[in-house]
Amino acid sequence: MELVRYLLDLSGIGRDRVQLRWISAAEGQLFAKYVAEVTNITQELGPFDPKKFRLPLAAVEQTLNSTRIRWLLGLTKQITEQGNVYNEKLKDKDFKKLLQQATEEEYQKALIIEVLKQSPRSVREMAEKTGLPVYTVSLRLNELERCNQAGLKEYSGSTPIFMGM
């Protein structure tokens, strides 16, 4: 859940758009309190326009379905409690940092993939469409090329134009 909230912040949608509270059936007053809190948060945020966030929403979904993120989440307990084959364990805060870095990279790649689904583009055009710095687009595009998820389509003058695979 914390990863979803982090991704919603990263995408500009905002972490408060998702709420999760745990209560038992015997906690009626606490339930009413939570409903009031979530109602207030929702009213403060205002209506959500999914059309405005089409690109970030698609990238968030793609990130959550990425093999790398699912693999890391699946190994959380092993990495932080049991250790690797050398009995080395990551502290919770170090694992969280690793997961956030991987999530950010996967989100950036997903944004680029979504933009390339629309049409082939140059690195600068991808940067403008995604809001990512040109250097970051270049780095992530290199990773996508190595995984055969993007590739060079043609040149427009001396500018390379890339497409999704």
- Give the C-alpha separation, 39 to 20, whole Å: 13
Span 49-83, pLDDT tens digits: 889 999 999 999 999 999 999 999 988 888 888 88
pLDDT of residue 88: 86
Q: How confident is the model at residue 25 (pLDDT cuts 50, 70, 90)?
A: confident
The answer to whether the CB of 92 falls within 8 A of the CB of 80 is: yes
The whole-chain average pLDDT of the chain stands at 92
pLDDT of residue 114: 95
Average pLDDT score over residue span 141-165: 94
Average pLDDT score over residue span 13-26: 86
Q: Which domains does the chain have, with CATH numbers?
A: 2-45 (no CATH), 54-164 (1.10.10.10)
- Give the C-alpha separation, 97 to 150, whole Å: 28
* Out of 47-51, 58-62, 107-111, 123-127, least confident range: 47-51
* Out of 18-27, 51-60, 130-139, least confident range: 18-27
- Give the C-alpha separation, 15 to 19, whole Å: 8
pLDDT of residue 75: 87
pLDDT of residue 129: 95
Question: With 90 as the cut, is the pLDDT of residue 157 above it?
Answer: yes
- Give the C-alpha separation, 158 to 65, whole Å: 36
Q: Would you tell me how many other CB atoms lie within 10 Å of the CB of residue 128?
A: 14
Question: With 90 as the cut, is the pLDDT of residue 24 above it?
Answer: no
Predicted structure pTM score: 0.87
Question: With 90 as the cut, is the pLDDT of residue 86 above it?
Answer: no
Average pLDDT score over residue span 13-33: 87
